[in-house]
Amino acid sequence: MNITPEISIVIVNYNCWRTLKATLSSIEDNIDASHETIVVDNCSPDNQLSHFKMLFPNVTFLQSSVNGGFAYACNVGADYAKGENILFLNPDTELKPNTLGRLLMAVKESGKKGIFTTNVVNATGKALKSHGQFLRLHTMNGFFRSISNIFNSSKKETEEAAVKKVDWVTGAVLFMSKSIYKEIKGWDEDYFLYHEDTDVCKKAADRGYGSYLLKNITIEHQHGVASKGCITTKAMAKTEVIISRHVYAQKHLRGIERILAHTFMITHDFVRQVIHTIASLFLPKKLELNALRLLRLVEYYAQTISYGTWQSSNTVSFEKKFGGSTSAPPKIKRAKQ
């Protein structure tokens, strides 16, 4: 008889095999909650999937024929999941023993319905950002956010509270029920990388669900491993941050605020990248990275004008709308076992 697991763990992998091994090993030590583990490989080029299937026979591995982005792969894994709840984990996270049971208990005891994360730290125990404010015109850079935090300080919950309500939580450690996942129609595949977690939480908030930080649980995260590869990958990842902010603004801001947000991002991010490129003229490694980022930004804004969309050309949804573009990925087939 098949028993429905309490948690389906969905991990999206792209070339993170070393850290993925540690992640899967740490999950094996969690025997305090029934769970299944699903790894979606986003078309990693190094052919290690077969080896990992032998190393972890109890893990379900799904292979995508294309790197369709983080949101795309999350949906592939979640659609396959059989659990009552879904825990989305990055392939560079590690769980301490009994984390899954404590997570389930904390969610139940909170009495909240919505999306949850935990404290997130690096290997040295330093706290990493695991939540934040929704993207608005007044939260678009550090100075604006600082001013906003001053005015919102009276709304903050007491430090003693075990559960803290926040706007959004990180996709590196994101927990929700399968029913909420279905209600919000999963992750938005218009995002390739970054801000898709903010979008998920915003969609949940629009339906009356909150996002929460479970302050008594901690998960380790080696932030940025997936983007520490070649210089082209680094440039792409940095540029996708900017692109995804445009996508979010187009979807969730309205009227003059949307126009001003796009204008601010274009002028602020583009001008800043031009300055960084000029400043690195005598630093060959930094010059190559900054030049690639600047070139990608120019291509992106030209594409925005040409196609009339803020989406990244790396996304599956861009290819579906504008098939035949040389920058779009090939036709997609959902990942197969």
Instruction: Give domain status of residue 2, yes or no.
Output: no
Question: How far apart, in whole angstroms, are the C-alpha atoms of residue 165 and residue 142?
Answer: 21
- Residues 26 and 152 both lie in one domain: yes
Average pLDDT, the chain: 88
Q: Given this model, what pLDDT does residue 45 score?
A: 85
- Residues 158 and 218 both lie in one domain: yes
Given a cut of 60, is residue 157 above it in pLDDT?
A: no
Q: Of 34-48, 60-74, 216-230, where does mean pLDDT reach its minimum?
A: 216-230
- Residues 242 and 283 both lie in one domain: yes
Instruction: Give domain status of residue 332, yes or no.
Output: no
Domain stops at, among 176, 209, 225:
225
The 8 Å CB, 24+ separation contacts for 252-258 are: 252/134, 252/135, 252/199, 252/202, 253/135, 253/136, 253/137, 257/136, 257/137
Question: How far apart, in whole angstroms, are the C-alpha atoms of residue 273 and residue 98?
Answer: 45
Q: Taking residues 13-42, what's their average pLDDT?
A: 94
Instruction: Give domain status of residue 337, yes or no.
Output: no
- Residues 288 and 200 both lie in one domain: no
Q: Given this model, what pLDDT does residue 152 score?
A: 57
Question: How far apart, in whole angstroms, are the C-alpha atoms of residue 198 and residue 245?
Answer: 10
Q: Given this model, what pLDDT does residue 234 score?
A: 81
Domain stops at, among 225, 252, 271:
225
Question: How far apart, in whole angstroms, are the C-alpha atoms of residue 337 and residue 11?
Answer: 15
Domain stops at, among 158, 193, 225:
225
Q: Indicate which CATH number applies to the domain containing 91.
A: 3.90.550.10
Give the residue among 195, 231, 242, 220 at the shortest CA–CA distance from 71.
195
Please state, for a pLDDT cut of 90, what percent of the chain lies above it: 72
Q: Is 235 helix (H, G, I), strand (E, B) or coil?
A: helix
Q: Given this model, what pLDDT does residue 65 score?
A: 86
Band (pLDDT 50/70/90 cuts) for residue 328 is very low
- Residues 157 and 36 both lie in one domain: yes
pLDDT tens, 204-216?
A: 999 999 999 999 9
Band (pLDDT 50/70/90 cuts) for residue 127 is very high
Instruction: Give domain status of residue 290, yes or no.
Output: yes
Number of structural domains found in the chain: 2
Q: Taking residues 78-106, what's their average pLDDT?
A: 96
DSSP string, 29-47: T--SS-EEEEEEE---TT-
Instruction: Give domain status of residue 331, yes or no.
Output: no
pTM across the whole model: 0.89
Instruction: Give domain status of residue 233, yes or no.
Output: yes
- Residues 159 and 204 both lie in one domain: yes
Cβ(171)–Cβ(200) below 8 Å: yes
Given a cut of 80, is residue 42 above it in pLDDT?
A: yes
pLDDT tens, 233-260?
A: 788 888 999 999 999 999 999 999 999 9
| Phi/psi of residue 132, nearest 5 degrees | -175, -170
Domain span including residue 150: 7-225
Q: Taking residues 107-130, what's their average pLDDT?
A: 95
- Residues 59 and 203 both lie in one domain: yes
- Residues 60 and 140 both lie in one domain: yes
* H or E element in which residue 7 lies: strand 7-13
Structure tokens at 9: 């763990």
Instruction: Give domain status of residue 330, yes or no.
Output: no
- Residues 100 and 139 both lie in one domain: yes
Q: Given this model, what pLDDT does residue 47 score?
A: 79
Instruction: Give domain status of residue 328, yes or no.
Output: no
- Residues 55 and 96 both lie in one domain: yes
Structure tokens at 246: 């445009």
* H or E element in which residue 110 lies: helix 99-110
- Residues 44 and 168 both lie in one domain: yes
- Residues 176 and 110 both lie in one domain: yes
Q: Taking residues 283-294, what's their average pLDDT?
A: 89
pLDDT tens, 137-146?
A: 988 876 555 5
Give the residue among 217, 181, 247 at the shortest CA–CA distance from 108.
217
Please state, for a pLDDT cut of 70, what percent of the chain lies above it: 87
